[in-house]
Amino acid sequence: MRRKELIIINWSGILVFVNWFVFIYMLTIVIVYGFMLFISLLQIRRRYELDNVEPYEELLQSEYTKPVSILVPAYNESVGIYGTIRSLISIEYPEYEIIIINDGSKDDTLEKLISKFNLVKVNRVIRKQLDTKEIKGVYQSEIYSNLIVLDKENGGKADALNAGINLSKYPYFCSLDGDSIIERNAFLKVLKPIIESDDEVIASGGSVRIANGCDIQNGDLISVGLSNKPIVVMQVIEYLRAFLTGRIGLSKNNLLLIVSGAFGVFSKKWVIEAGGYAHTVGEDMELVVRLHRLNKEKKQNKKIVYVPDPVCWTEAPEDLKFLRRQRKRWHKGLFDSLWKHKKLMFNPRYGSIGLFSMPYFFFIEFLGPLIELIGYISLVVSIFAGKIYFEYAIMFFLLSLIYGSIYSMAAVLLEEWSMERYPKVKHFTILFLVSLTETFWYRPLTVIWRVEGMVEMLLGKKGWGEMVRKGVSND
């Protein structure tokens, strides 16, 4: 009888330990995010006011404006590629080239480009600074002389971007997803820190917003709208929180490890020296980590920054199946980047990147979903075991509410206060009310999906997973 009681006591003690561990961990996350939200609030308002005083249009006449090569990797992007190119052709920027890399598409992506833009095959010297799959041909538009299409064997997104870098002729390049729509003054905004820094900034990332529900005609954003699907609205809120709170706070002290693959500008010289894009699930983050590493090893003080203005609109998954694949892929990419550069973790040689950024992304961003899921399971087990810890249940719920819903609500308010990208009261009200529900359905789903990604990673399952796009532009 005593042995049975001892076993019960041991299990009870383990449960208490787990509950307190999860509580302290969640409290730490809430404090860290709260601090980052406060920094973001100060930074975004200050930057927004300065930009109103000094309009971006002045950069159009500036002799210091950097020419840029826009690289768009395209694999089976027939649905959205035309709208993307149309948006790029009409941007406000003095000098740029558009390079579409057809990465062995199996659909009619190349045929559509040839037909729509009068492409003809040309002889173009390609300086092979980075290894890539075989190049089949180079095409140039007879309508737009700065539009070039590179046709190559399939090698993945990283390989396509490396091929585009080899072909590009300008000192800076922009990586852009094939389903993205760019606002007219996007490049003036995202390149402003680079232009004004005298080459101190080697990479700059812009905000990415959800295009589903917006009115987009021939690559032009006519009006901002919201999808009528809750799963898409929730992604709008999620993007607001990720970009307007997390990235601004990290960028403030040059701690940013992610420049979105959907829209980022890089110094070509630095990227080539770093070895170009790597063949990994999260090639965009891995490159940024490698640039930080190279910067520290060369003992230079280069910066990677984030521009808070929303400049790029992209299509979000509208189906739970594809959203689940996306989140699993993102989480596997996160770990892949951290593991490749584990040498930086807690290494004082790499300064704040090694002592703060790497631990933050590992212990909070990567392990966070697992510990949060353990918290949910622990709560359920406590109830069914007859040990209902009301205090723990209340504290865990409140922390989850703050972490999941309240911070999302704050991001919506920050968006309305500073950017005002959703001018209709109806849209703001929907975003505000839906953000309050995140803790009850959306966050548990994403937690489970990200933990699934961790499990698949441990089992050695890699790959992107097929994504189906409907296209956001009405051509």
- Residue 205 near residue 256 (C-beta atoms within 8 A): yes
Please state, in angstroms and as integers, the Cα–Cα distance from residue 382 to each residue in 19, 62, 125, 315, 350, following that order: 9, 65, 67, 41, 43
For residue range 327-350, what is the model confidence (pLDDT) as tens digits?
999 999 999 999 999 999 999 999
Q: Model confidence over 241-284: pLDDT tens digits?
A: 888 777 887 888 888 998 887 788 999 999 999 999 998 888 88
pLDDT at 124: 85
Domains annotated on the chain, with CATH: 14-475 (3.90.550.10)
Contact 442, 241 (CB under 8 A): no
Distances (CA, A) of 396 to 12, 20, 36, 258, 400: 18, 10, 21, 30, 6
Tens-digit pLDDT profile for residues 286-337: 999 999 999 999 999 999 998 887 678 888 999 999 999 999 999 999 999 9
Helix spans in 185-274 (H):
186-196, 230-241, 248-252, 268-274
Rounded to whole angstroms, how far apart are CA atoms 50 and 34? 25
Q: Indicate the pTM of the whole model.
A: 0.89
Average pLDDT score over residue span 30-55: 72
Per the CB < 8 A criterion, the answer to whether 243 and 418 are in contact is no
Q: Is 281 within 8 Å of 177 (Cβ atoms)?
A: no
Does residue 146 have a pLDDT over 80?
yes
Q: Are 388 and 420 in contact (CB under 8 A)?
A: no
Instruction: Please name the residues in contact with 38: beta carbons below 8 A apart, sequence gap of 6 or more.
Output: none
The rounded distance, in Å, linking the Cα atoms of 229 and 247 is: 26
Looking at residue 59, its amino acid is L
Task: Tell me the C-alpha to C-alpha distance, in Å, between residue 212 and each of 131, 254, 317, 463.
Answer: 36, 32, 9, 26
Residue 427 corresponds to which tokens in the numbers above? 């849209």
The average pLDDT across 159-187 equals 90
CA distance 224 to 44: 21
3-state SS assignment for residue 70? strand
93 or 415, greater pLDDT: 93
pLDDT tens-digit map of 48-100: 554 454 556 666 666 667 899 999 999 988 888 888 898 899 888 889 999 99
Buried b (16+ CB within 10 A) or exposed e, 294-308: bbbeeeeebbbbbbb
Look at strands 220-223 and 263-267 and give their pairing.
unpaired
7-18 per-position pLDDT tens digit: 445 667 787 888
